[in-house]
Structure 1
Amino acid sequence: MDTLQSRIYRLEQLLQSAPERPPGASAAVATLESPAVSVVMPTHNRARYVGEAIESVLAQSFRDWELLVVDDGSEDDTRSVVARFLVDPRIRYLHQSNRGASAARNAGIRASRGSFIAYLDDDNVWYPDFLKKAVDVLATRPEISLAYGALVTDIHNFHQERILWKNFDRALLETGNYIDTNVMVHRRSLVDAAGGWDESLKSLEDWELVLRYTRTEPAAAINVLAAYYRHCDDTRITKLQDYQRDEGAVLAKNGDRPPAS
Structure 2
Amino acid sequence: MFGCLKKVCLKPTRKDRKNLQGRNVQTQGGQTSIPLVSVIIPCYNQAHYLPCAVESVIKQRYNNWECIMVNDGSPDNTGLVAKSLIDKYPKNQILLINQSNQGLAEARNAGIKASKGKYILPLDADDLIHPKMLQKTVSLLESHPEIAIAYTDVRYFGRVNRVVLAGEYDFKRLCFQNHLNYCSLFRRGMWEVTKGYNPNMVWGYEDWDFWISCGEKGYYGKRIPKPLFLYRVKENSMYTNAVEHHNELMAQIALNHPNLYDQPYPQEAKIRDCGSIDTLKTDPLVSVIVPTYNRHDTVKRTLESIATQTYQRIEVVVVNDGGEDVSAIIDAFRDRLQIKYLVHRENRGLAAARNTGIKNATGKYIAYLDDDDIFYSNHIETLVKYLETNNCKVAYCDAFRAWQEKDNEQYVIKQKDIPYSFDFDPDLILAQNFIPVLCIMHEKSCTDEVGIFDESLTTHEDWELWIRMSRKYHFTHIRKVTCEFTWRTDGTTMSSEKKSDFLRTMGIIFDRYREYSKDNPRILELQRMSKRRLQSGIFKIFYKLFNKTKNLFRSLFLFLI
TM-score relative to the length of structure 2:
0.38
5+ residue gaps, structure 1: 1-27
CA distance in 2, matches of 1:165, 1:126: 15
- Partner residue, 1:116: 119
CA distance in 2, matches of 1:233, 1:51: 21
Does residue 223 (structure 1) correspond to residue 302 (structure 2)? The answer is no
Secondary structure of the equivalent of 2:121?
strand
CA distance in 2, matches of 1:164, 1:247: 23
CA distance in 2, matches of 1:96, 1:164: 35
Secondary structure of the equivalent of 2:241?
coil
Specify which of 339, 347, 365 is matched with residue 260 of structure 1.
Answer: 339
Q: CA deviation at 1:180?
A: 1.6
Residues 170/56 of structure 1: CA separation in 2 closer, same or farther (3 Å cut) = same
After superposition, the C-alpha distances for 1:76-109 in whole angstroms (9 at most, x for unaligned) are 1212211222133410011101111111101001
5+ residue gaps, structure 2: 1-11, 13-32, 266-337, 341-561
Q: CA deviation at 1:260?
A: 2.7
Q: CA deviation at 1:166?
A: 1.0
8 Å CA contact 2:141, 2:150 repeated in 1: yes
- Partner residue, 1:82: 82
8 Å CA contact 1:40, 1:108 repeated in 2: yes
Matched ranges for 1:106-145 at <5 A: 106-145=109-148
- Partner residue, 1:25: none
After superposition, the C-alpha distances for 1:107-128 in whole angstroms (9 at most, x for unaligned) are 0011000000111000001111
Secondary structure of the equivalent of 2:339?
coil
Question: Which protein has greater RCO, CA pairs closer than 8 Å, 6+ apart?
Answer: 1
- Partner residue, 2:60: 60
Counterpart residue type for residue 43 of structure 2: T
Q: CA deviation at 1:239?
A: 5.8
8 Å CA contact 1:154, 1:162 repeated in 2: no
After superposition, the C-alpha distances for 1:40-65 in whole angstroms (9 at most, x for unaligned) are 11001111111111111111111000
8 Å CA contact 2:165, 2:225 repeated in 1: no
CA distance in 2, matches of 1:232, 1:50: 15
CA distance in 2, matches of 1:186, 1:122: 19
- Partner residue, 1:177: 178
CA distance in 1, matches of 2:45, 2:242: 19
CA distance in 2, matches of 1:140, 1:41: 26
Specify which of 86, 93, 98 is matched with residue 95 of structure 1.
Answer: 98
Counterpart residue type for residue 171 of structure 2: R
- Partner residue, 1:208: 209
- Partner residue, 1:39: 39
After superposition, the C-alpha distances for 1:9-58 in whole angstroms (9 at most, x for unaligned) are xxxxxxxxxxxxxxxxxxx9xxxx83000111100111111111111111
CA distance in 2, matches of 1:239, 1:57: 27
Secondary structure of the equivalent of 1:214?
helix
Residues 120/84 of structure 1: CA separation in 2 closer, same or farther (3 Å cut) = same
Does residue 153 (structure 1) correspond to residue 191 (structure 2)? The answer is no
Counterpart residue type for residue 142 of structure 1: P
Counterpart residue type for residue 164 of structure 1: L
Counterpart residue type for residue 339 of structure 2: A
Residues 218/165 of structure 1: CA separation in 2 closer, same or farther (3 Å cut) = same
CA distance in 2, matches of 1:192, 1:174: 21
8 Å CA contact 2:242, 2:249 repeated in 1: no
CA distance in 2, matches of 1:217, 1:77: 38
Residues 50/253 of structure 1: CA separation in 2 closer, same or farther (3 Å cut) = same
Q: CA deviation at 1:222?
A: 1.5
- Partner residue, 1:5: none
Q: Which moved more, 1:87-96 or 1:237-246?
A: 237-246
CA distance in 2, matches of 1:233, 1:112: 32
Counterpart residue type for residue 105 of structure 1: R
TM-score relative to the length of structure 1:
0.79
Q: CA deviation at 1:240?
A: 5.8
CA distance in 2, matches of 1:45, 1:231: 16
After superposition, the C-alpha distances for 1:183-206 in whole angstroms (9 at most, x for unaligned) are x11111102211100011121111
Q: CA deviation at 1:152?
A: 1.6
CA distance in 2, matches of 1:48, 1:227: 19
8 Å CA contact 1:123, 1:232 repeated in 2: no
Secondary structure of the equivalent of 2:255?
helix
8 Å CA contact 1:129, 1:224 repeated in 2: no
Residues 73/233 of structure 1: CA separation in 2 closer, same or farther (3 Å cut) = farther
Counterpart residue type for residue 217 of structure 1: Y
